[in-house]
Amino acid sequence: MDFQSIDTKILSIGEPRIPSPVNNEERFADGYFIQDDDRVLIDVNADNISKILKAGKEIPSFETAGPRSKIYFDPSKVRCALVTCGGLCPGLNDIIRAIVLELYYRYGARNIYGIRYGLQGFIPRYGHDVATLSPAMVENILDTGGSILGSSRGEQDIHEVVDCLERMNIGILFMIGGDGTLMAAKKIAETIMERNLKISVVGIPKTIDNDIYMVARSFGFDTAVDVATQSIKGAHNEAESYPNGIGLIKLMGRHSGFIATTAVLAQQEVNFVLIPEVDFDLDGPKGLLARLEKRLKERNHAVIVVAEGAGQKFFEGDKDEKDASGNIRLKDIGLYLKDKINDYFKVRNIDISLKYIDPSYMIRSLPANANDSVFCGFLGRDAVHAGMAGKTKLIVGHWNNHFVHVPIDTSAGRRKQVSPDGKLWHTVLESTGQGSLKNE
Write out pLDDT tens, residues 353-395.
Answer: 999 999 988 888 899 999 999 999 999 999 999 999 999 999 9
**Number of neighbours of residue 100 by Cβ within 10 angstroms:** 25
Q: In what order do the strands lie in the sheet with 394-399?
A: 39-41, 61-64, 402-407, 394-399, 200-205, 172-177, 79-84, 111-115, 130-132
Q: Is 34:65 a contact under the CB 8 Å cutoff?
A: yes
Residue-wise pLDDT tens digits, 106-148: 999 999 999 999 999 999 999 999 999 999 999 999 989 999 9
Query: Is 345 in the same domain as 373?
Result: no
Residue 35 belongs to a domain: yes
Q: Which of 3-12, 110-119, 409-418 has the lowest mean pLDDT?
A: 3-12
pLDDT of residue 317: 74
Average pLDDT, the chain: 92
Banded model confidence at residue 420, pLDDT cuts 50, 70, 90: very high
Q: Residue 380: CA atoms inside 13 Å, Cβ hemisphere, count?
A: 25
Provide the terminal-to-terminal Cα distance of the chain, rounded to the nearest Å.
27
Query: Is 148 in the same domain as 207?
Result: yes
86: left (phi over 0), alpha (psi -120 to 50) or beta: left
Query: Is 44 in the same domain as 111?
Result: yes
Query: Is 299 in the same domain as 212?
Result: no
Q: Is 106:100 a contact under the CB 8 Å cutoff?
A: no
**Number of neighbours of residue 284 by Cβ within 10 angstroms:** 14
Residue 55 belongs to a domain: yes
Query: Is 214 in the same domain as 256?
Result: no
Q: Is 253:309 a contact under the CB 8 Å cutoff?
A: yes
Q: Where do runs of H (alpha helix) occur along 365-422?
A: 370-388, 408-411
pLDDT of residue 412: 86
Query: Is 231 in the same domain as 173?
Result: no
Query: Is 236 in the same domain as 141?
Result: no
Residue 5 belongs to a domain: no
Query: Is 191 in the same domain as 253?
Result: no
Residue 378 belongs to a domain: yes
pLDDT of residue 340: 97
Residue 440 belongs to a domain: no
Q: Does 30 score more than 80 pLDDT?
A: no
Write the CATH number for 36.
3.40.50.450
Query: Is 329 in the same domain as 390?
Result: no
Write the CATH number for 354.
3.40.50.460
Mean pLDDT of 414-440: 94
Residue 439 belongs to a domain: no
217 alpha carbon, distance to own chain's centre:
7
Residue-wise pLDDT tens digits, 31-60: 789 999 999 999 888 777 878 777 778 888
pLDDT of residue 71: 97
Residue-wise pLDDT tens digits, 389-410: 999 999 999 999 999 999 999 9
Q: Residue 104: CA atoms inside 13 Å, Cβ hemisphere, count?
A: 18
Residue 234 belongs to a domain: yes
Query: Is 407 in the same domain as 271?
Result: no
Entry pTM: 0.92
Number of domains composing the chain: 2
Query: Is 294 in the same domain as 158?
Result: no
Residue 6 belongs to a domain: no
Banded model confidence at residue 2, pLDDT cuts 50, 70, 90: low
Write out the residue range of the structural domain in which residue 309 sits: 225-315+322-363+420-432
pLDDT of residue 46: 76
% of the chain residues with pLDDT over 90: 82
Mean pLDDT of 241-254: 95
129 alpha carbon, distance to own chain's centre:
27
Query: Is 425 in the same domain as 405?
Result: no
- Name which of 157, 217, 182 is nearest 83 in CA terms: 182
- Residues tagged active-site: 209
